[in-house]
Amino acid sequence: MNRSAAAGLIAFILLALTAGPAWPQKAKPLPRPARETMRELDQAIRSVDSSLKLLQTLRSNANPQPDQIERKVGEIDAKIDALEPLLDRAKAEAAGQGVSSHPDFDAAQAKIADAAARFAAVKGETLRQAAADNLQNSRPAISIRQVRSVRVDPRRSPSPPLRPKASGPASRAGTACSQGLLVISSSRSLSILMLNRLCLRTFDGC
């Protein structure tokens, strides 16, 4: 082997040693307490995904239940709020074992952000639709058939109050005047003078 070939081989070996391996090394496992917390976090993220699918099913129902939808929105909101504290706990447990960063933390952070973004995209619209459905359901719907089916029982209808009968000259005067009016209304040939005379006779004590 000549000198140029040997120099080339040495240069290649030195380059390979300084560049490191051509494939990425697998990250070391997290400490045991952090791994358990990360498994709990993963289950919580899957629970959020399932709840989002159920919320979509409730919204697409032909007869949506606004109260049920609002409860599901509150449930998902609480689940998402609990994700970040779980990740912080796992990081703290790993830091206690000398691990300050890990690819699993980055992947979990991306999943949390994705779940929160998907929920925020449907939360406002879902609550507005639930409020509109609640308003619609609170209005009484009366059909024409229901109105026609209402019957009034004459036996239960209130009778007009009876007026007490008056006595004395005023009573007789009122009666006589009413009779005079009836006579006038039934026969136009009688004059008002007849009515006046009838009333005067009544007040004179006749």
The three-point CA angle 133-138-143 to 5° equals 105
Of these ranges, 12-16, 99-103, 150-154, 182-186, the one predicted with the greatest mean pLDDT is: 99-103
Band (pLDDT 50/70/90 cuts) for residue 104 is very high
- Is residue 45 scored above 70 in pLDDT? yes
pLDDT band at 197 (very low <50, low <70, confident <90, very high): low
Q: Which residues of 155-180 are buried (b: 16+ CB within 10 A; e: fewer)?
A: eeeeeeeeeeeeeeeeeebeebeeeb
pTM (2 decimals)? 0.54
Instruction: State residue 168's pLDDT score.
Output: 53
List all residues 6 or more positions away from 27 whose beta carbon is below 8 Å from its beta carbon: 102, 103, 104
Which residues lie below 8 Å from residue 72, measured CB to CB, with a gap of 6+? 51, 54, 55, 58
Predicted confidence at residue 132, as pLDDT, reads 74
pLDDT of residue 153: 53
pLDDT tens profile 59-82: 888 787 888 889 999 999 999 999
Residue 127 pLDDT class (50, 70, 90 cuts): confident
Average pLDDT rounded to a whole number, residues 81-108: 96
More confident residue, 147 or 13: 13
Over residues 134-139, mean pLDDT: 64
Per-residue pLDDT, averaged over 20-41, amounts to 82
On the question of pLDDT at 28 being above 70, the answer is: yes
The pLDDT of residue 20: 53
Name which residue leads in pLDDT, 66 or 95: 95
Domains of the chain, residue spans: 30-138, 169-203
Domain 30-138, CATH class in plain words: mainly alpha
Report the pLDDT averaged over residues 143-167. Answer: 52
Length of the chain: 206
Average pLDDT over residues 149-153: 50
Q: What is the pLDDT of residue 144?
A: 46
